[in-house]
Structure 1
Amino acid sequence: MTNKSLTKFLPVFIIFVFFSQQFIYSQDTTSSLAYKKKPQFFRYSMFYRADLSYQLWHQFKLVQKANEGDPIAEHELGLRYLMGEGFVADTTLAAKWIGKAAGKNLTSAEYNYAILLNNGWGVEWNPFKAYDFFQRAALDGMPQAEYILGVTHLNNLVVKKDLLIAYEWLKKSAESGFLPAKEYLIKLEKKISPAILKKERKRASKKSLKSKTFNNYLTGSTTTGLELIDFDLIQDSATKITDKIILGTFLTGTNANLADTLGITEKNDSSLNILKSGLPFLNRSAEAGNPEALTLLGRMYEKGKYFEKNNIKAAAYYLRAARLNYPIAANLLYQLTKDPKLIHKIRDAAKKQEAIPMYIWYGLYVLGMERDIAPKDAFKLLYDAANKKYVPAMVELGLSYYTGNLVKKDKDRAKKMWESATKLGSQEALTRIAATNILEQKYKNIKLDIDILLKSEKMGSILSEVTLGSLYEKGLGVIKDKAKAVMYYRSAAQRGNSFAFNQLRKMYDEIRPAKFRF
């Protein structure tokens, strides 16, 4: 990447990511690193496997039949290469054989090949070609594929968002008993006018019977690379964020391991019951810049669960998550600070030079929730809170200096502030230093900086996810890899990060076919 193009790219990245104010191990012949780094992606629960005797075939017979052009044998051989069953795992060979079977109209192969295409596993990343294969499987009556087509018509990436087409496919999937489709159909029906909904229900009821039957063992938490990105829900300040919604954000993607540590499952009720032994891990994840962890801690302080009830601390945690461009936290902060008594309490404490209230008052100003203060006074609140060694304020002050928000831009002072916060144990500050080192190409040890980002990403740092996406998209410090960039951007977008979604859409637009439906 040229210095000229880097200079053009950096300000946009910094504004939206660093300072947003908006609500299997295998012998792999593919260039994609997703499989190598994320072996947990390849699970039986991800790919559709028909219940056929071919699964019991010996390797020799299976290879023989596949070479003869038997599509079921080709598909089974591809799955065995994918899972490393009897063969050295190889995503490229897996995609080759599954693709052959998909080309012969084998429904399960069409579905599985679409997953590989959509993630760039063993083949070049191509979500549009993936859409074609998902559609073929859906037209065969496969409920999992019908669900994915419904989601695709809501995400506004491959095809233009269309609630009615999405409704039609989700309803077909739901009527086949696919639980994820049933669950989202209820939410979708609330977004469609009653008159149109009545018409659509009547039209959908006339659908023909399916000629094929499929197992419905795949679940909504199954990772296909096509999970729903519902900004309408998470960015609506009128939406009531329940404890169940907060806990549900841990069940897929980046936070799945943390969910296990906390004992969070799909059966969790709305009582915020988690394993108390997991609280230290929750705290570490929060300090790394994990917005879901910060939000859950805020909720615990707001409800007095595991900690003494403290709405000021709750507001501080919500604010920290909101500053990471996490809409759910911004919503909760907005709802919490509508209480005039709490606002009065925050202001009084801030005037007494208490660090956390000063930080909150400043934060409410930059988020546009509080305008009864001058910009210079808002900055002074942040500056004073940072001088009291309140780490979140120190990290935020570094951002102000870096971006020139409310103060003259000074990148050297920004880095020094982050270094001071790092010495006090801030993983988030360390992550920001590593990210800016690479993005500005001023690193001393790029391997060390990337290792820092990878460590933080494993702890749920959304900044690390978006930064890694940018590095792989631009080829900064790593080999350019679109599939891996998409993986990181998609994960961050599914968590509500609008910058990641916009970058993702840009990557889709770059390869969008010149076809009307796309």
Structure 2
Amino acid sequence: MKILHRTNHAFLYSLLVSSILCLSGSFGSVNGEELPNASKVISLARDNSIILNHNLSVTNLLNNRFEHQSSKLIINGICTAAQVLAKGLHFGGTITFPVEAEETHWITQAFQELGKLRSQWKSMIQYLEGLRHLYGIGVEPDASEAFKWVRKSAEQGFEPAQNHLGLMYASGQGVEKNETEAVRWFLKAAENGDYAAQFNLAGMYKYGRGVEQNDNTAASWYGKSAAQGYPKAQFMLGLMYLSGEGVEENGYTAYEWIYEAAYQDYAPAQNILGLMFIDGDVLEQNYTEAYQWFLLAAEKGEAKGQFNLAMMYAEGRGVGKNHELAAKWYQQAANQNHMKAQYNLGGLYKKGLGVPQDDSLAAFWQLKAAKQGFADAQYNVGFYYSQGTGVPQDDELALKWFRKAADQKHYLAEYSMGIMNDFDQEDDEKLSKAAEWYRKSAKQGFAPAQSRLGALYYNGQGVEQNDKLALKWFRKAADQKHYLAQYYLGAMFEEGRGVEKDLNRAIEWYQKAADQGYEKAQKRLKEYNQE
């Protein structure tokens, strides 16, 4: 069963309430089917719609903010009824008979479903009463009171209430959190075909909440929900096929499910499709297609889609390079606390690309990303504080942020920690700390750290003097064309420290450093020529 797109949410929801209220009223007949008084239904729907629009976002309710469905009957039956009413009626109007054959079919089908709902009217009213207390419609919001009503409805077998009750247990809303109990209620609704409950139950198995973690069972329930057209389930099932979790890995099947969700305007799926077109593993690489999917996701407010779209504009992939539009989309993602978007936006302000150059805003956005734990941003913030760029100069704050990044093995931050402890050549304790940090960075292949560590071994500062270790680290840095390491290697060959004395090799290394403009090396070569 495909899920109908939800439009005019307040009216549809109020139509449900109004239809239930009218079920005991006067009835007409179309093809032998009893009908609620249509004029009364529409009048109540109009009034309730106004009330609902004023008191809460019904859009959030019907768009599964809490992963509950208003029931298959409500979605298909009530939405069908709404379509009929919308086709030939204005608010406050009446149905005129006879009607066209096609319209008769729609009306008959819709109110057949409403007839089925009559047997559940009590549990539905209880559920709606629970929602009224939960969202504060005409009363003060009270989650505990809402829980009582939702539970009453759930105990009578109303699947949407069972699913919602599971959510309340899972989140501790109006009741003490109990994930085992949440699974029990999700299962009741899921076994009766509630697609949202099937989705929620799958999530409990996937993440091991209230039940033993089991990807196979998770995939099975996602599959049941996905088969009913639920885009979130289709998306999750696609991801599981993509990674081979709980199902045999199958890129094309993954694409089919993700596409189904994307086609229903599910923004996370649209974003992933964009990434699949960039990756070129499952699908043929196509930057233009990727751009189009990112744009769809971004326009729906999907932060990841906004970030990826900004990247496309920044790099000119699939669309012309445009730093202004890159900045626009980075900004929108950054406003949603997207860490990398904040970092990249800070970079644009630092360079003045697409936005006016502004060190203060550069530091502001870097700090936002740094507080989320992004090591590159933490390093940049440390550097800004060390230099007084966009923020007041502050060595303590610089050290704080360098340390945070260094603890994540950020090689530049490790090197900077070494520098911060390397100012006083007479303080052996600090020089020892400097050597520790230089060593961490040097092991990651950073030539300046390798060269500085070599110098500490060469001079016996902060470490025991050791020519062989000095030579080792100087060689590693010199192989990366680090001029200072090249100079020191020249000195070691000249002096015969750690190697046999060799003036030709010494001159060779001095020349390499001199060619890079290092004045001490140039001066030493002149002295050789004079000799």
TM over 0.5: no
TM-score interval (norm. to shorter): 0.3 to 0.5
Q: Greater relative contact order: 1 or 2 (C-alpha under 8 angstroms, separation 6 or more)?
A: 1
Relative to its length, the structure with more helix (as a share) is: 2
TM-score, length basis structure 1: 0.39
TM-score, length basis structure 2: 0.39
User: Which structure: larger Rg?
Assistant: 2
